[in-house]
Amino acid sequence: MNLTFYKYQGTGNDFVVLDNRNQDLELSREQVAFLCDRRKGVGADGLMLLQPKEDFDFEMVYYNADGRPSSMCGNGGRCLVAFAQFLGVVEDQAYFLAADGPHQAYLKDGLVHLQMKDVDTIEDLEDACFLNTGSPHYVKQVPALKELDVYAEGRAVRYSDRFKAEGTNVNFVEHQPENKLFVRTYERGVEDETFSCGTGVTAAALAASRAGYTSPVQIEVLGGELQVSFEQEDGQFKNVFLIGPAVQVFHGEINL
């Protein structure tokens, strides 16, 4: 099969993106993993299909780099909104369905504003916290984050007794002045540190609100800058938006 693909990135979180509006693409786990392979394929943290869905502008179908279907990906969602605009499916607003339910988004001044799911609870752990922002996230505040071995420390949490079966994403957060966070994330499915994780920085921002951070929180990741805005009431969060750039890097064809 000769496959036309597009490559997008959002703050260094990169994706193979496919137009499946004709609904003629059925990729195996092995084919998805091949396309995401950085040595043998295109190379990406994940793969997305844009396909039609009744009552929505489109549906987002997301796969991790290991080829398995996955939960919501925030940076992926922002990139797919930009792709939908590129295809002419939407103009400057979108309403789409993802693994965790409906999402609204809009494009303004070169940035994609993606509404994330409401968050009702944050679970306190011994020295961290756990919450679901469309994907499960463990969040731990640390000092000297630049020196931390995120791969080793993140992998130890991801494969701990509690999280081994279903997996979790693991975020390490350094609090900085002026309402800013520095975040590094080990992602399940990729099984490595990524340059950015949208649902991860969302989780980090909501967790930091309990330490006095206010909306919007400015976030530095290895791949650039993001923002998270939200409304908070009685420990619950709504109108949560992940805000940042989404860029088409290149497109091409590959034989599967």
Residues identified as active-site: 73, 197
By the 10 Å C-beta count (0-12 exposed, 13-18 middle, 19+ buried), 204 is classed as: buried
Q: Which residues pair with 105 in a beta bridge?
A: 94, 114
Residues 6+ apart with CB under 8 A from 231: 215, 237, 238, 239, 240
Identify each DSSP E strand in 11-100 by its residue range.
13-19, 46-51, 58-64, 93-98
In the chain, beta strands by DSSP E: 2-10, 13-19, 46-51, 58-64, 93-98, 101-108, 111-115, 123-124, 129-132, 136-141, 169-176, 180-187, 192-194, 217-221, 224-233, 236-244, 247-255
SS3 (DSSP) at 153: helix
Give 121: exposed, middle or buried? Use CB within 10 Å, 0-12, 13-18, 19+: exposed
